[in-house]
C-alpha cells in the first residue's frame, strides 16, 4: 500500500450529503475482485448520461478537477452497503483523501485499509474548503497527515484528528498483509519449532 504522508492537490467540491456506496460505484460494476479499472465508473450516474456521454456540469468532468486527488463532501459520506469497491473506485480514479463532516463506519474502515485518508471536519469548515476548491487550479489544498492539519490556499492550518494506530499504518503504508509481514521472522521461527516438534506434519501436507 502506498504511504500517505503529505498530499498537495486541487480539491474537488461535491456539495452532497448521504452519498451512498451505490452512488460511488453502482452495483452493476461489482463483478470484479480486482482493485483496478473501477475509476472510470466512479460516480457513474453523476458523471454520465443515459447514453454514456459525460455530463459537463459534474465536477469531475471539468478541468482542473479531472485529476483531483482530494474530494470534499458533506455528511454521511459512504453510507449504504459495505462494498469495498467504493474506496477501490476512488483510489483507482486517483483520490487519496476525502474530507467530510462524517463518514459511514464501514466505508471509513475500508478507506484506511486501502490507503485513503478520510478527514472529519465540521460542516462549516467543509463549506469554506469547497469555496477554496471552486477557485480551481490556483487554489491547492495540502493535507499533512504527520502534522494532522489541512492547509488552505491562504496558509490557514486546520487541525484534524486521526486514530493514532491508523495514522501510523497510513504513514508507513501498511495494510493488513503488510502488518502481518512485519512479524515474518517470528512466524518463521514458530513454523521451524513446529516442524521440529511435529516432524510428521510436512509429510501429511505433502500427502494432501
CATH of the domain at 104: 3.20.19.10
Nearest CA-CA partner of 88 in 109, 63, 116 = 116
The domain total for the chain is 2
Same domain, 122 and 161: yes
Residue 13 clears pLDDT 50, i.e. is over it: yes
* Exposure letters 153-169 (e unless 16+ CB within 10 A, then b): eeeeebebebeeebbeb
Gap between the Cα atoms of 180 and 186, Å rounded: 10
pLDDT at residue 179 tops 70: no
Q: What is the pTM of this model?
A: 0.85
Query: Is residue 143 located within the same domain as residue 45?
Result: yes
pLDDT at 181 over 60: no
Confidence of residue 147 (pLDDT cuts 50, 70, 90): very high
Q: Is residue 1 part of a domain?
A: no
Is residue 151 domain-resident?
yes
Same domain, 85 and 182: no
Domain with 207, as residue range(s), is 175-208
Average the pLDDT over each of 20-24, 47-51, 80-84 and give the range with the smallest value: 80-84
Task: Tell me the per-residue pLDDT of 102-127, one tens digit each, with 9 for 90 and over.
Answer: 999 999 999 999 999 999 999 999 99
Amino acid at each position: 500500500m502506498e504511504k500517505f504522508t503529505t498530499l498537495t492537490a486541487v480539491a474537488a467540491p461535491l456539495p452532497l450529503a448521504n452519498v451512498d456506496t451505490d452512488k460511488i460505484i453502482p452495483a452493476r460494476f461489482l463483478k470484479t475482485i480486482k482493485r483496478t479499472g473501477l475509476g472510470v465508473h466512479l460516480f457513474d450516474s453523476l458523471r454520465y448520461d443515459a447514453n454514456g456521454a459525460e455530463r459537463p456540469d459534474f465536477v469531475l468532468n471539468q478541468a482542473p478537477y479531472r485529476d483531483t486527488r482530494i474530494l470534499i463532501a458533506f455528511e454521511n459520506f459512504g453510507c449504504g452497503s459495505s462494498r469495498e469497491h467504493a474506496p477501490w473506485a476512488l483510489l483507482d480514479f486517483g483520490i487519496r483523501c476525502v474530507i467530510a463532516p462524517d463518514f459511514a463506519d464501514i466505508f471509513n474502515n475500508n478507506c484506511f485499509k486501502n490507503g485513503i485518508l478520510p478527514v472529519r471536519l465540521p460542516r462549516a469548515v467543509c463549506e469554506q474548503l469547497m469555496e477554496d476548491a471552486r477557485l480551481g487550479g490556483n487554489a491547492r489544498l495540502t493535507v499533512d497527515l504527520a502534522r494532522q492539519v489541512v492547509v488552505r490556499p491562504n496558509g490557514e492550518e486546520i487541525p484534524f484528528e486521526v486514530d493514532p494506530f491508523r495514522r501510523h499504518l497510513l504513514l508507513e503504508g501498511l495494510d493488513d498483509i503488510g502488518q502481518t509481514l512485519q512479524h515474518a521472522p517470528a512466524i518463521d521461527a514458530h513454523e521451524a519449532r513446529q516442524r521440529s516438534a511435529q516432524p510428521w506434519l510436512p509429510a501429511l501436507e505433502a500427502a494432501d
